[in-house]
Structure 1
Amino acid sequence: MLNRVADRFSRVIQRFLPDAFVIAVLLTIIVLAVAIMFNPSEPVQIFQAWGDGFWTYLAFTMQMVLLLLTGMVLASIPFISKGLRSLANFANTPTKAYLLTFIVAAGAYYINWGLAVIVGAIIAREIGKRNKKAHFPLLIAAAYAPTVLYTAGFSSSIGLTIATEGHFLEETMGVIPTSATIFHPSTVIIFLVLAITMPLFIILMAPKKGITSYAPPARSTDFTFDKPKKDSLNPAQKLEYTPILGMLIGAIGVVYTVGVFATGRDLDLNLINLFFLSAGLFFHRSLGQFAQAFKHSVTSISPIVLQFPFYAGIIAVLGGSGLGDAIINGMVSVATPETFNVFSYWAAGFINILAPSGGGQWALQGPLQIPAAIELGVDPAMTAMAVGWGDAWTNLIQPFWALPILSVVGLHIRHIMGYCILLSIWVGVITSVLIFFLY
Structure 2
Amino acid sequence: MSVDSRNVVTARAPEDDAPLLERIALRVTAWCEKWYPDAFVFVALTVLAVALGALAIGASPRAVAVSFGNGFWSLIPFTMQMAMVAITGYVIASSPPVARLVTRAARVPKSGRSAVAYVAFLSVLTSLLHWAISLVFAGLLVRELARRADLRMDYRAAGAAAYLGIGATWAMGLSSSAAQLQANPASIPATLLPITGVIPFSETLFLWQSLSIAGALVIVSTLIAWWTAPGPTRAKTAADLGIALDTIDDALPARERPGEWLEYSPMLILVLVALGGGWVINEFASKNWLIAISGLNTYNLIFLLLGMLLHWRPKRFLRAVSKAVPVTSGVLIQFPLYGAIASMLTSAKGAAGESLTHHLSTLFVSIASTDTFALVMGVYSAVLGFFVPSGGGKWIIEAPYVMQAANDLHVHLGWAVQIYNAAEALPNLINPFWMLPLLGILGLKARDLVGFTFAQFICGTVLVLTMLWLLAPTLIYHTPVLH
TM-score range, shorter chain: 0.7 to 0.9
- Partners of 1:162 and 1:18 lie apart in 2 by 35
Task: Give yes or no for contact 2:362–2:405 (8 Å, CA) kept in 1.
Answer: no
User: Partner residue of 1:336?
Assistant: 369
RMSD of the alignment, in Å? Answer: 3.5
User: Partner residue of 2:20?
Assistant: 5
- Partners of 1:221 and 1:345 lie apart in 2 by 42
User: Partner residue of 2:198?
Assistant: 175
User: Partner residue of 1:143?
Assistant: 162
Task: Give yes or no for contact 1:176–1:381 (8 Å, CA) kept in 2.
Answer: yes
Query: Deviation string for 1:148-170 (max 9, x for gaps)?
Result: 21122111111111111232344
Letter of the 1:288 partner, please give it: K
Task: Give yes or no for contact 1:344–1:386 (8 Å, CA) kept in 2.
Answer: yes
> What is the TM-score of this pair, normalised by structure 1?
0.85
User: Partner residue of 1:184?
Assistant: 207
- Partners of 1:420 and 1:313 lie apart in 2 by 30
User: Partner residue of 1:225?
Assistant: 251
User: Partner residue of 2:174?
Assistant: 154
Query: Deviation string for 1:232-269 (max 9, x for gaps)?
Result: 56432111111111122123223322321332143232
User: Partner residue of 2:286?
Assistant: 263
- Partners of 1:382 and 1:337 lie apart in 2 by 12
Please give the secondary structure, in 1, of the residue aligned with 2:367.
Answer: coil
Note if 1:374 corresponds to 2:374: no
User: Partner residue of 1:119?
Assistant: 137
- Partners of 1:242 and 1:355 lie apart in 2 by 43
Note the 1:93-132 alignment, pairs <5 A.
Answer: 93-130=111-148
Please give the secondary structure, in 1, of the residue aligned with 2:248.
Answer: coil
Displacement of 1:191: 0.5
Task: Give yes or no for contact 1:319–1:325 (8 Å, CA) kept in 2.
Answer: no
Please give the secondary structure, in 1, of the residue aligned with 2:147.
Answer: helix
- Partners of 2:51 and 2:401 lie apart in 1 by 22
Displacement of 1:270: 2.0
Task: Give yes or no for contact 1:190–1:431 (8 Å, CA) kept in 2.
Answer: yes
Task: Give yes or no for contact 1:11–1:418 (8 Å, CA) kept in 2.
Answer: yes
Note if 1:87 corresponds to 2:105: yes
Displacement of 1:227: 4.9
Displacement of 1:386: 0.8
Please give the secondary structure, in 1, of the residue aligned with 2:301.
Answer: helix
Note if 1:277 corresponds to 2:304: yes
- Partners of 2:128 and 2:295 lie apart in 1 by 15
Alpha-carbon distance change, 244 to 39 in structure 1, aligned in 2, over 3 angstroms: closer
User: Partner residue of 2:477?
Assistant: none
User: Partner residue of 2:273?
Assistant: 250
Letter of the 1:175 partner, please give it: V
Please give the secondary structure, in 1, of the residue aligned with 2:19.
Answer: helix
Task: Give yes or no for contact 2:338–2:397 (8 Å, CA) kept in 1.
Answer: no
Note the 1:276-295 alignment, pairs <5 A.
Answer: 276-295=303-322
* Residues 185-194 or 98-107, more deviating: 98-107
Alpha-carbon distance change, 283 to 28 in structure 1, aligned in 2, over 3 angstroms: closer
User: Partner residue of 1:435?
Assistant: 468
* Residues 111-120 or 263-272, more deviating: 263-272
Alpha-carbon distance change, 393 to 14 in structure 1, aligned in 2, over 3 angstroms: closer
Task: Give yes or no for contact 1:31–1:314 (8 Å, CA) kept in 2.
Answer: no
Letter of the 1:386 partner, please give it: I
Structure of higher CA gyration radius: 2
Query: Deviation string for 1:375-425 (max 9, x for gaps)?
Result: 222211111111122222222233322222222222222221232233212
Displacement of 1:328: 6.8
Task: Give yes or no for contact 2:54–2:64 (8 Å, CA) kept in 1.
Answer: no
User: Partner residue of 2:37?
Assistant: 22
Task: Give yes or no for contact 2:204–2:210 (8 Å, CA) kept in 1.
Answer: yes
- Partners of 2:112 and 2:257 lie apart in 1 by 50
Please give the secondary structure, in 2, of the residue aligned with 1:17.
Answer: helix
- Partners of 1:173 and 1:240 lie apart in 2 by 46
Letter of the 2:384 partner, please give it: I
- Partners of 2:154 and 2:40 lie apart in 1 by 31
Note if 1:400 corresponds to 2:424: no
Displacement of 1:347: 1.8
Task: Give yes or no for contact 1:72–1:116 (8 Å, CA) kept in 2.
Answer: no
Identity %: 24
> What is the TM-score of this pair, normalised by structure 2?
0.78
Letter of the 1:127 partner, please give it: L
Letter of the 1:282 partner, please give it: L
Displacement of 1:10: 4.3
Alpha-carbon distance change, 260 to 37 in structure 1, aligned in 2, over 3 angstroms: closer
**Structure 1, unaligned runs of 5 or more:** none
Please give the secondary structure, in 1, of the residue aligned with 2:157.
Answer: helix
Alpha-carbon distance change, 292 to 366 in structure 1, aligned in 2, over 3 angstroms: same
- Partners of 1:45 and 1:400 lie apart in 2 by 35
Task: Give yes or no for contact 1:21–1:307 (8 Å, CA) kept in 2.
Answer: no
